[in-house]
Amino acid sequence: MVVEARTVKVDDEKNVRSLNTINRQLSSNTARLDAVKRTVDETRSLSATYDDQVRRTDQQLNKIRTEIQKARTEMTRIPTLPDNPRGDSNLVSLADEARRLADEHKRDADNIESLSESANDLSSSALQLIREVLDNDKKVTQSIDRLEQQFKENNDMVKDLEEQADRINTRSQKSSDRASQIFNELNNLPSIDINALTENANRLEIKETGIELDLNRKIDDYERRQSKLNEYQDDVRKLLEKGKIDQKVRFFFR
């Protein structure tokens, strides 16, 4: 009986060790399940955030299109000069210069609209990519973080482009008003202050040069951000192609 008792004791100790091992495995599996759940919940929350950001970007683009349409309408208000206006020929040149500036503002507005649409397309592509990687490892998570940062930067770029469109619309209105003023002076005033008009035209030219430099700088910055975003998208696609996520899932459930 003593031998049997010792045997039972040994068996009990083995069973206890086995039970402890099972408990540790269960705890480990539970922790892994919790980690997967947190990852899925965080990614879904991130996707919802991207959805909201894309909607807001669409609203911003619609506002930009409205402002650009206003600018185009203002272009049509610039009067056509008579064939043989009364007054000094310098006034005719000033009126032509005002119209030229207005036309350049219109082209700038069209460029801004195109860039804004490209920014929105890139943001939508990033969102679609995020939705395809609900189960991800550390490298994918890091890529998602970089994509999120890039999306935020693109969103800021759209806001900046919107402000630029507003400024162009304001300058277009001023150009239209200035052209109308010159037209009225040509036809109604017996004498005109040529020096003042020339000074105003010079100021317009200086402002236009500054605007062009600022716009070129923003376009270059946007292109650099677009290149970075493409690199991040390639990183995520490569990770997906290697099947790292599928391997993790198979390892967990096998």
Residue 2 lies in a domain: no
Residue 237 lies in a domain: yes
The reply to whether 75 falls in a domain is: yes
Q: Are 91 and 197 in contact (CB under 8 A)?
A: yes
- Number of folded domains that form the chain: 1
Q: Which domain covers residue 130, as residue numbers? A: 11-253
Q: What angle do CA 178, 184, 188 make, to 5 degrees?
A: 150
Position 253 scores a pLDDT of 43
Give the chain's largest Cα–Cα span: 134
Q: Rounded distance, CA 251 to CA 254, Å?
A: 5
Q: Computed over its alpha carbons, how large is the radius of gyration of the chain?
A: 33
Please tell me the predicted confidence (pLDDT) of residue 252: 46
Residue 43 lies in a domain: yes
Residue 4 lies in a domain: no
CA distances from 85 to 7, 76, 93, 193 (A): 121, 20, 12, 16
**Is 84 contained in some domain?**
yes
- For residues 18-53, one letter each, b for 16 or more C-beta atoms within 10 angstroms of the residue's C-beta and e for the rest, the string is eeeeeeeeeeeeeeeeeeeeebeeebeebeeebeeb
Q: What is the per-residue pLDDT for 23? A: 62
- On whether the CB atoms of residues 143 and 235 are closer than 8 A, the answer is yes
Residue 172 CA to residue 167 CA, distance in Å, equals: 9
| Per-residue pLDDT at 202 | 63
Res 41: pLDDT: 72
Per-residue model confidence as pLDDT tens digits over 219-253? 677 677 777 766 766 665 665 555 554 555 444 44
* pLDDT tens digits in sequence order for the chain, 254 residues long: 444 445 545 555 665 666 667 667 666 766 766 676 676 677 677 767 767 776 776 777 677 667 667 766 665 665 554 554 454 555 566 666 666 766 666 676 666 666 666 666 666 666 666 656 555 555 556 665 665 566 566 556 656 655 665 666 676 666 666 666 666 666 665 555 556 656 666 666 666 666 666 666 776 776 777 777 667 666 656 655 555 545 554 444 44
In a domain, 51, yes or no: yes
Q: How many CB atoms within 10 Å of residue 143? A: 23
In a domain, 6, yes or no: no
Kind plus residue range of the DSSP H or E element containing 76: helix 2-76
pTM value?
0.35
For residue 48, the model assigns a pLDDT of 73
Residue labelled with tokens 């270059």:
220
